Chains A and B, each alone.
Chain A
Amino acid sequence: MSFRRAGVALLLIVIAVGLQTTLFARLRPFDAAPALVLLTVIAVSRHIPDELAVFYGFLAGLLLDLLSESALGLWALTLSAVAYATVRVKDRIAGDYRLVAPVVFVVSAAALALFALLGTIFGERTLADAALVKKILLPSLYNTVLAVIVLPLAGVLIGRARRTTGWRL
């Protein structure tokens, strides 16, 4: 993978983390914010080779782990699973755009539920959160809405990088 393409993919994650922790600190309809990094992993995973996508999810999750108080590897595992699920369905949703919104919603909700479950197993007591259902459903809903912008944008940026230099594995 060339530095340029890797740079674009990593830059998208840094931007997503930056926006997640600043813009959405105060822009929180119904006291919830989208899971922007998760959405970015879905968006980018559709446009890069399968194995790189899974590894990309792992790296993005690792960055979240390092910036949070969760156990190191918790987000890495969750976002690897997101990337893996995305590469498994990307051919199907590429042929039918009506599936994009349901897939984004289901993958987001499943990932957040997985995070909550694993977090509890690893001592985070995430399932003890009184607003757990809201914290899974609302970010997933917001992700579905934001997918209209983020998915095409990632497609343009990653697609352009791919056309310029081509993927090498």
Chain B
Amino acid sequence: MLRIPGLDRVTSLFILLIVVALTMMTLDLRSSGAGVGGTLRDGTQAVFTPVQQVFGDATRPIVNFFETLSDLTSLRDENEALRTEVADLERALQETESLQSRVEELEQILAVEPPEDLEAVTATVLAIGVSEFDFVRVIDKGRLDGITVDMPVVDEGGLIGRVVSATDTSARVLLITDPTMKVAVRVERTGETGILTGRGGGPLGLEMFNTDAVLLEGDLLVTADGRYPAGLSVARVAQAARAEVGFALRTTAVPTAEITRVDYVKVLVFTRDEGGAAGVEGAEEGGEIEVPTDGVEPAEGETEEGPGDSSTTTTVADNP
């Protein structure tokens, strides 16, 4: 056994393992998470997916029990809130028709292409990341269902992330809250563009390209042309902001999707290299979501950093 002079065997082994780990990190970083590391990750996830399915089924009654307890305590408050919400919705419904015509006018002004139908694959979230610092969801659909790397993933609220790896029967989704994620967005009200950056457990960071832009609290941010189909809801501005002296305009935004409580998601059959993926084999029928498909190149500033980044796009046609 290797032993460093002056140190005991345990410390020697520990130092050796530190060196091995640092070497692995460096190599993995240089290969951008692809190569041998990527293959090993896919293999491990493929092996572990059935285990996670078993654990998910086995622990569901426990989770349901605790959630029921939690629900009971909040039921009264929720009931009151729902009454108020119904009243608000009735008012909002009356305003919708007039707003609809204004939206159409605005879309023409902003030269937004009319939305096209995109196919979507509905999936169940099997598992979350292995730690609080791992902003990943594992879903139960993979390459056999038409899922490939880079496809956007949404819930009913909006964008939650993108597929970063896929095995035959499962896929990993990197959430927009991951600190390495950046999404090019457009303020729906004004058309100004900027970049949303994940900040882990906190609200998303928003930086506008035009420092003279004015952001109001509640402004809806949608995906701009780029890695994702344009027009998907992403977040709402949490704090109004205006640059005082022309420096960078920064504020925070809250995701419109229920990032922490996602059970079912839809993977949009769309990759930037294909400009929409009409006719990708294996996609489930139904579950279509209307989004425009114009613009398939990454927008300005829209990248992901770190070893998880992969520019590889696997298409269904490449797989058996």
Contact = CB atoms under 8 A, between A and B. Distances in A.
B18 A80 contact: yes
Nearest to B57: A22
B260 interface: yes
B54 to A, nearest CB: 8
A131 B201 contact: yes
Contacts of A129: 133, 179, 199-202
A72 B42 CA distance: 13
A33 B17 contact: no
29 contacts: A19-B55, A22-B127, A22-B128, A26-B67, A27-B66, A28-B260, A31-B201, A32-B132, A35-B132, A51-B10, A54-B17, A58-B20, A64-B131, A69-B33, A72-B25, A72-B40, A73-B25, A73-B28, A74-B21, A76-B17, A119-B133, A122-B29, A124-B306, A128-B179, A128-B200, A129-B179, A130-B200, A131-B200, A131-B201
Interface residues of A, number: 60
A103 to B, nearest CB: 18
Interface of B: 1, 9-11, 13-14, 17-18, 20-25, 27-29, 33, 37, 40-41, 44-45, 48, 51-52, 54-56, 59, 62-63, 66-67, 125-136, 138, 164, 172, 174, 178-180, 199-203, 260-261, 305-308
The DSSP consensus for interface residues of chain A is: helix
B306 A68 contact: no
A55 B200 contact: no
A104 B128 CA distance: 24
A1 interface: no
A94 interface: no
B201 A134 contact: yes
Contacts of B59: 19, 22-23
